[in-house]
A and B are shown apart, each in its own frame.
Chain A
Amino acid sequence: MTNSLSKKPSMAYSTSSSKKSGFRMTPIFNGLQPLKMAVHPCTADSLPKNRIFQQAARTIFPLCIAIGLLLGVDALAGPEEDRLVMRNYYSERFPDVPMQEFANGLYAFDEIARDQWLEMEDFPSYEIAVEDGQALFELPFANGKSYANCFDNGGIGVRQNYPYFDSNSGEVMTLELAINRCRENHNEEPLPYRTGDIAAIAAYMSYTSRGNVINVQVPPDNPAALAAYESGKEQYYTRRGQLNFSCASCHLQSAGLSLRADRLSTTLGQATHWPVYRAKWGEIGTIQHRFAECNSQVFAKPLEAQSVEYRNLEYFLTYMSNGLELNGPATRR
């Protein structure tokens, strides 16, 4: 493989000294734009200083504030409001963790696990998958075409745009689904989802996208896209299985707490590093492979990989990590 695996996952504070000293909150929120409040014309200072206008100002001023607030709420409504609320929630819950560090999962706040993880990253277990993925990616189809013909920029450095809502088909398009659609469009058999070759190809494509900022779009003028996002949000908050758990039960309400020998990761950053080589799997797998595992762990029968529900969930989950840098593939225990 021509590319060396020199691109380490994003570890803004990974030096040994910082590990000892602990994290400090950075003043910069990656990709988070401050709310720009225009100077409103309805200010008391700008009104003429006579009694009629001052009385009017006393009446109109609160009304203007109310309208302004409404406009402000309207501008933030929907996915973007959800994302900002979630970022604020985790910032308050983990005040010492810089925003980009959430991309490293529990290693952002568990120092012992982080040390082990950094050791693993010296000889990353996903390295072979990336090499295999590159070979598969570059292997021409029987018709002479290749994956590069199906993706923007030849499929290099595009992971940050997935999943997206495909207006033509009216569905969420994940990277793995796009890989298989590409194969089918070129008369090749689709690959099995979750693990294996499709995860390897996705690993290579993710690797070429490292450092790019997640930029998932939910077009506000597309009700179908918004419905898919909302459906994913519903999946995320819906309790299921014999244990009656939702994604949020573990990764929102209990994030950072211990579950047996592990600590629960945060929702924020969960979509940045896929596919993942998990030691317990002994192979590299996709994010939907993990969805299925999560479902099994709460004694719910997993849904099919790339089912509408899982794709919508991935859409919601990835949108929540908008603004964070991709750092996949990754290793996990």
Chain B
Amino acid sequence: MINKYAPLISCALLLVGCGEQSGTSNPAGDAGAPSFASAYAAAEESLAQAQTRRNVWSKTEEMLENAKAAYDEGRVDEAIELATEARLQAELAVTQADHEKEAWRSRVLTE
């Protein structure tokens, strides 16, 4: 009996699982909150590192603000996308600043 219905039960459980995962597209769904929270926190952390280096790209902070606003309005996928983009920008700014610590010397005009 169990063996007979096992595939059906598995499919049902799988579908339920998939439904919960795709909750990120629902307005401010609880299932999406952890993903956005982690994306946002990671972006904030990278941004803080860029700020410490005094090298923030001009759109990063605005992007992060827009991510928060999108999340508050229930556009969770868009919010995660914006937060991820902000994190990537901040990481690149950090990489740029660290590289430039010495790289600038090679551009100094010499005779």
Known A-B contacts A234-B104, A237-B104; the reply to A242 vs B111 at CB < 8 A is no
Flag if B57 contacts A242 (CB, 8 Å): yes
Cross-chain contact B104 with A301 (CB below 8 angstroms) = no
Proximity string of chain A (283-322) to chain B, C-beta cutoff 8 Å, 1 when within and 0 when not: 0000000000001100111110000010000000000000
Q: Is the CB of B104 within 8 A of A241?
A: no
**Taking A82-B109, A85-B109, A88-B111 as contacts, is the C-beta distance between A238 and B104 under 8 angstroms?**
yes
Say which one of A101-109, A164-172, A213-221, A244-252 lies at the interface with B: A244-252
Most central of B55, B58, B59, B103 by chain A CB within 10 Å = B58
Q: Most B CB atoms within 10 A — which of A242, A244, A246? A: A242
The smallest beta-carbon distance between A321 and chain B, in angstroms, is 15
**A89: nearest chain-B partner, CB-CB:** B109
B54, A303: Cβ atoms under 8 Å?
yes
> Interface digits, B28-63 against A, CB 8 Å rule (1 contact, 0 not)?
000000000000000000000000001111111100
Task: Determine whether B84 belongs to the interface, using a CB cutoff of 8 Å to chain A.
Answer: no
Task: Give chain B nearest CB distance to A205 CB in angstroms.
Answer: 30
Check A299 against B58 for contact (C-beta < 8 Å). yes
A242 with B59, Cβ < 8 A, contacts A85-B110, A233-B108, A234-B104 known: yes
What are the residues of chain B within 8 A of A301 when measuring CB–CB?
56-58, 60-61
Interface presence of B107 (CB below 8 A): yes
Residues B58 and A241 in contact, CB atoms below 8 Å apart: yes
Q: Which residues of A contact B57 (CB under 8 A)?
A: 241-242, 299-301
Cβ B109 vs Cβ A86 within 8 A:
yes
> Would B108 and A237 count as touching, CB distance under 8 A?
yes
Write the chain A residue with the least CB distance to B106.
A237
Type the 1/0 row for A232-262, where 1 means its CB is closer than 8 Å to any CB of B.
0110011111101010100010000000000
Q: For A237, give its contact among B59, B97, B107 (CB under 8 Å).
A: B107
Residues A242 and B109 in contact in the complex (CB < 8 Å), given A234-B104, A237-B104: no
Which of A88, A252, A301 has the most chain B CB atoms closer than 10 A to its own CB? A301
Contacts of A86 in B (CB 8 A): 109
Q: Which of B97, B108, B110 has the most CB of A within 10 A?
A: B108
The interface size of chain B toward A, counting residues with CB under 8 Å, comes to: 20
Residues from chain B with a CB closer than 8 A to the CB of A299 are 57-59
Q: Does B24 interact with chain A (Cβ within 8 Å)?
A: no
The residues of B that contact A88 with a CB separation of less than 8 Å are 111
B residues 81-111 near A (Cβ < 8 Å) are: 89, 96-97, 100, 103-105, 107-111
Given the known inter-chain contacts A301-B56, A301-B57, please indicate yes or no for A242 contacting B89, CB distance below 8 A. Answer: yes
When chains A and B are docked, how far (Å) is the Cα of A240 from the Cα of B97?
Answer: 7
* Contact partners of B96 in chain A: CB under 8 A: 239-240, 244
B55: nearest residue on chain A (CB-CB)? A240
Residues in chain A near residue B103, CB distance under 8 A: 239
Give the docked Cα–Cα distance between A52 and B78 (Å). 87
Whether B55 contacts A300 by the Cβ 8 Å rule is yes
Q: Could you list 18 further interchain pairs (A-B, Cβ under 8 angstroms) beyond the known A240-B55, A295-B58?
A: A88-B111, A89-B109, A233-B108, A234-B104, A237-B104, A238-B104, A240-B96, A240-B100, A241-B57, A241-B58, A242-B57, A242-B89, A246-B107, A248-B109, A299-B58, A299-B59, A301-B60, A302-B58
Q: List 11 A-B contacts (CB under 8 A).
A: A82-B108, A233-B108, A237-B104, A237-B105, A239-B100, A239-B104, A246-B104, A295-B58, A299-B57, A300-B57, A303-B54
